[in-house]
Amino acid sequence: MTSLADLLGVSTNAVSQYENNLCKPRHEMVQEMAKKLKLKEAFFFQPVESADQNPVFWRSRHAATKASRVVAQRKLAWIKTISDEYLKQYLDLPTLVVPTQKELGIPNDPKKLSDGKIEQIAQRCRDFWGLGTMPIQDLTAVLENHGLLITCGELDSDRLDAFSNVSERDRSFHIFLGTGRSAVRSRFDAAHELGHLILHSHLSREYLEDTEKSKKHRLTEHQAFRFASAFLMPAESFGSDVWMTALDPLLSLKERWKVSVGAMIKRCDDLGMLDESHARRLWITYNRRWRKQEPLDDSIAFETPQLMKRCFDLLIESKIKSKAEILHDLPFSQRDIETLMNLPESYLNENFGEVRQLPTIKAKIAFGNNGKVIDFDARKSSQNL
């Protein structure tokens, strides 16, 4: 309330009265709110959404602020409004195809989930999707093809990397990936969030937010990390590719496996390929040489989600909705819709002001001769005389 009051140049008490329906803001104030918050005026007259009942799984560093998470959760709510409520009115999105908790043998209590069991679950998930044990060329495409809804965009904190959630509306899986990361780190973020959704989607919000939250958070984060490592680097095939556990030989595998050297070092350690002193020396050398940025980061292309754009393409091309109707139906700004749904900038522009039917030159032209239209052949003949 204080931040909004400062933004609008009014008292905190005034904002409090607006929020508690004790006093309605003047139309000029609604206009100002819409302008400052880059929303439509209609947004403020939508029914208030109930809070998410399912937990949000965060891939973040410990110092991520509560404020940055609140902003991220609002983005998630808007994404679910557009995809789960709006798009699904008109389109059948790909069915979510994931093995169940029972099929994978995932215990209800995460404390009973061992690292060895996670290795087996990751491989079963790969087998379920027909991925075998070879490197995954485009993880985002694999996830979208199996019904996961992937979006990416900027997050308000450099300490917040990604998050995921199971929709309360239809149990669809949502993953949001922060931009500004290298392609290999973004892929690992996606696999990490997949780990949460596979291993922990049965857990309640209350379970993760009780008095032992920090301990349970560390446990579920460790398990999601182990799943991501095993899913992207299966023990047998990855292990056979590592011919030497040194930085440069591992770097030579980066473009093939599309994971960071740091992730490979940790995977080698998890698989028992390093003793304690060797692992320590590797990390010291790694941090000295590549702590800020690894080589080859720029040579691996960022994986861009495609499903949401194709949904909008289909809506428009099938004439189910025009761009103007989409903008009218949704209470968010054009740029927010484009950003959240991974649409190109200005994608929803109708260009009503453009003249699309241009004039053309007639087959016969008039000149001289009192305005008489003369065929080209006749003109040529007269010049020859």
Domains of the chain: 2-37 (no CATH), 56-299 (1.10.10.2910)
Q: What is the pLDDT along the chain (385 residues), one digit of tens a residue?
A: 888 899 889 999 999 998 888 888 889 999 999 888 888 888 888 777 666 678 888 876 555 677 788 888 888 889 999 999 999 999 999 999 999 999 999 999 999 999 999 999 999 999 999 999 999 999 999 999 999 999 998 887 677 889 999 998 889 999 999 888 899 999 999 999 999 999 999 998 888 776 556 788 889 999 999 999 999 999 999 999 999 999 999 999 999 999 999 999 999 999 999 999 999 999 999 999 998 899 999 999 999 999 999 999 999 999 999 999 999 999 998 999 999 999 999 999 976 555 666 677 776 655 555 555 555 554 445 455 4
For residue 347 the two structure tokens come to 């994608």
Q: Burial level of 214, CB count in 10 A (0-12/13-18/19+)?
A: exposed
- Rounded to two decimals, the pTM is 0.85
CA geometry: angle 149, 300, 303, nearest 5 deg = 10
